[in-house]
Structure 1
Amino acid sequence: MELKSYDKIYHIHRKSRVKRWFFFILIGGIITLFLPWTQNIKVKGNVSSLYQSQRPQQLNSPIPGRIIKWNVKNGDYVKKGDTLLQLSEIKDDYLDPMLVQRTEEQVEAKKGVRDYYEAKVGTAKNQLLALNAARDLKLNQVKIKISQLNNKLVGEEAELAATTNELKLSEDQFARQKKMYDDGLVSLTQFQQRSISYQNAIAKKTATENKVAQTRQEILNTQIEQNAVTQDYNEKLSKIEGERFQSLGNIEGSDGDIAKLQNQVANYKARQGLYFIIASQDGQVVQLNKAGIGEVLKDGENIGTIVPTTVDYAVEIYIKPVDLPLVKEGQRVMCIFDGFPAIVFSGWPDSSYGTFAGQVIALENNISPNGLFKALVIEDKNEKRWPPKIKMGTGVQGIAILNDVPIWYELWRNINGFPPDYYEVATAKSTKDEKAK
């Protein structure tokens, strides 16, 4: 009886193909060692925005107040300028409903005071002009009087000289008449007549001298009066000038008070505009942390967050310090977004599925709190577009593409613990420099 199990178990009579398979695998392995392998660095990060204005913005209360009306709820989409909620005042200094109007009335009152002082300055200026004119007139009168007295003095001095000459002549005649009388040549009557003429000449000279002295005294008194007039008018002018400067100072003070009150009016009006919290940009309102009506907000307190609807997405990746020299601006990075399926071949990025190409545009020189260096990656417009459904904060795994090397070199590098080859990115600037050379 022939046993079929024997033929199935024992293959001693069959031809073996192990050797063929061994050489086939060996040759395939050797060929594989010479296949290209793309060196890379694996990094992690998250989705962010290229511009600060497109990142989620906090909604803060600009002033302390009480919530009196909500216009939105969590998840609502709003347009820029839409009113989100309305506040009412809680500070005693701003409770007056007529606060702006009353402050404007204070401004008008201060302007009236300033106008009064300006009118007073104008009046003082007119007074100064009038006093200066009166002083000049008075001084001219005094000068004319002094001139008249000087002329009078000249005439009286001339008269004094004439009386002096006349007295000398009378004195000579009296002396000759006395001698003739003593000699008996003339009568006593003639001698007495000559004596009377001599006494009259003496009296006339004395009277003339008195007139000259009186005129000189009048001149001196008039000069003193001139000085007194100057002093008197200077005092009056100084007093009015002081009042004018005081009014000017009050005008400046009023201008300062007016500016201060106008500033308060502007602040009050601006504060009234802050009772309505509006959306700073188009987006979705999320994370509202205040509920109901009547809750009190502090100055600058966070109310919620608004997430922009239009965002230029970017990826923030974090690089180890040891790998930092291998990453440059313009370097290609393959991104794998959380929630999007991907099949990744580390050494063959072009053969991977579910990866999206990006480009490094910035590297921070300062280390982050997590001990890594941050780089910013944007979408590569020349390759497959990033998925439109990604959201801010989505986790990202990145593969920074380095040099293409054979597989045997990569195995040898890893066995010896060597770092990847240093990678230089050919930028537009360097290309231009090479062409110039």
Structure 2
Amino acid sequence: MLNLSKENSVYIPQAERFKTVRSLENRPHYKILNRFMAIFGIILIIFMFLPWTQNISGTGSVTTLRPGQRPQTIHTTIAGRIEKWYVQEGQFVKKGDTIVYLSEVKEDYLDPNLVENTKNQRDAKKSAAASYGQKVVALEGQKGAILRELKLKTEQARNKVLQAKLKIKSDSTDLVATKTLLRIANTQYNRAVTLNKDGLKPVTDVEEKRLKQQEMEAKIITIENKFLASKNELINAIVELDRLESEYAEKIAKVESDQFTAKSSQFDTEAQVNKLDNQYVNYNIRNGMYYILAPQDGYVNRALQSGVGEIIKEGTPVVSIMPQNFEIAVETFVSPIDLPLIKRGEKVRVWFDGWPTIVFSGWPDMSYGTFGGTVVAIENFISENGKYRVLIAPDNTDQQWPTQLAIGSGAQTIALLETVPVWFEIWRRLNGFPPNYYKGASSDIKSNSSTPKKDGK
């Protein structure tokens, strides 16, 4: 059993004999210190239960909302030698103003009359193509004439064949008639001989019939020769018809061959004309590339090439230009653990380097010098710094951003989330949990702070 009664408490009388101990017992500081520690502990406990607005902080810089409004570098399209500068750094230029003039360095383009010579070559080729076209038309006309002549010659030859056939028919009729007459003459001769033997006909009648028989025999030979000649004429007419068809087919084939050759030359010349047209246009465009022009209104930030007479290659950066008109924005970077909590259209608070600012991240009402912004874009791929890029535009419903801001100046952002006790926020940060770790739905994550609070000014 423990000895806890006051009567049994340990007493050290030796301590009272010290002057310091007796002096400390009479001082009021201990009471004040104890009272202060008690009050501080109470305040600390109360502080732990104060509301704290969770937030996602990020660091970035001022940029422009649209890519075409950001500082851009003008490159040379062709290789050349710098001959003359028309601007200086810090100068304002309008769209189309000449920045620098280059001269040619490639031997293929050194001819000062290159464009004019190419144009003359193109015109000459066009004339040649037109001549080939006229030759094709002329050959087509020649082919038509040959076809018409062939038609006439063929009709003539066919008429000869028809005439030969008719002549053969006529000669064959004459031959048959002559053979009939020959038979009649033979019959009359034989009758005259018989009658002469019987004494009924004189010898003169027999000789007359004999003479007539010989005349028919001679005549039939003549008619047979004529009949054979008619057959030969028919054969010759048919051969002549075939010869005409072969001859004119050869002529037509030759004309068509010349026509195809002319067409081939015409198409080849037209291809050369198109090529020369392309070269002519390219040379014209290249002549315009000797002058590097300002793509839009802006200020010359920096000349990336210097001097006169310096030779530069294709694609070499020449000058940097900042557009005159631009919509300002802020690009900030957030940790991967906070990325799921950032949504497009989310309201954030922004403050800028060099601008008077007092920021209490957990108590936005007590902040001063911050401006409203809206998330307009979230990069889906992590950046080289291990964070995700978020683009923020000015909030039109909030205070206007300073017009003195320069592109590239630093900026910091805070996305306001749910309000929680201070002790919960300390516990969350010590454990490395993201904001609203125990919230299930993303719609509940920002339920208490979808609209950021204004600065307490």
Q: What is aligned with 1:130?
A: 145
8 Å CA contact 2:418–2:445 kept in 1: the answer is no
1:424 aligns with 2:455: no
List alignment gaps of at least 5 residues for structure 2.
1-23, 451-457
Q: Deviations over 1:130-180 (max 9, x none)?
A: 211211111121122222222222222221121121122222333333444
Q: Structure 2: which amino acid aligns with 1:343?
A: I
1:366 aligns with 2:366: no
User: How much is the aligned-residue C-alpha RMSD, in angstroms?
Assistant: 2.7
8 Å CA contact 1:328–1:425 kept in 2: the answer is no
What's the CA shift for 1:71?
A: 0.9
SS of equivalent residue, structure 1 residue 391: coil
1:141 aligns with 2:156: yes
8 Å CA contact 2:55–2:416 kept in 1: the answer is yes
Mean Cα displacement is larger for which, 173-182 or 138-147? 173-182
Mean Cα displacement is larger for which, 50-59 or 196-205? 196-205
Q: Structure 1: which amino acid aligns with 2:258?
A: E
SS of equivalent residue, structure 1 residue 287: strand
Q: Deviations over 1:317-355 (max 9, x none)?
A: 222222221212122222222222311101012321122
Mean Cα displacement is larger for which, 167-176 or 201-210? 167-176
Q: Deviations over 1:185-233 (max 9, x none)?
A: 5444332322222222222222112111111110110111111111111
SS of equivalent residue, structure 2 residue 380: strand
What's the CA shift for 1:40?
A: 0.9
**Aligned ranges for residues 324-403 of structure 1 at < 5 Å?**
324-403=339-418
What's the CA shift for 1:13?
A: 9.2
Q: Distance in 2 between matches of 1:127 and 1:417?
A: 97
SS of equivalent residue, structure 2 residue 165: helix
8 Å CA contact 1:286–1:304 kept in 2: the answer is yes
Structure 2 length-normalised TM:
0.85
What's the CA shift for 1:28?
A: 4.7
SS of equivalent residue, structure 2 residue 379: strand
What's the CA shift for 1:70?
A: 0.8
**Aligned ranges for residues 34-183 of structure 1 at < 5 Å?**
34-182=49-197
**Aligned ranges for residues 286-325 of structure 1 at < 5 Å?**
286-325=301-340
Mean Cα displacement is larger for which, 156-165 or 179-188? 179-188
1:217 aligns with 2:232: yes
What is the number of residues matched between the two proteins? 420
Q: Structure 1: which amino acid aligns with 2:428?
A: R
| Structure-2 change in CA distance of 1:18 and 1:234 (3 Å) | same
| Structure-2 change in CA distance of 1:128 and 1:393 (3 Å) | same
| Structure-2 change in CA distance of 1:200 and 1:416 (3 Å) | same
Q: Structure 1: which amino acid aligns with 2:59?
A: K
Q: Distance in 2 between matches of 1:18 and 1:347?
A: 31
Q: What is aligned with 1:244?
A: 259
Q: Deviations over 1:70-128 (max 9, x none)?
A: 11111112111111111111222222221111111111211221222122222212211
Mean Cα displacement is larger for which, 125-134 or 221-230? 125-134
Structure 1 length-normalised TM:
0.88
8 Å CA contact 2:87–2:99 kept in 1: the answer is yes
**Aligned ranges for residues 218-233 of structure 1 at < 5 Å?**
218-233=233-248
SS of equivalent residue, structure 2 residue 386: coil
8 Å CA contact 1:330–1:425 kept in 2: the answer is no
SS of equivalent residue, structure 1 residue 367: coil
8 Å CA contact 2:53–2:417 kept in 1: the answer is yes
Which residue, out of 250, 257, 267, partners 1:235? 250
List alignment gaps of at least 5 residues for structure 1.
1-8, 432-437
8 Å CA contact 1:56–1:307 kept in 2: the answer is yes
8 Å CA contact 2:171–2:223 kept in 1: the answer is yes
Q: Distance in 2 between matches of 1:245 and 1:268?
A: 34
Q: Structure 2: which amino acid aligns with 1:163?
A: T
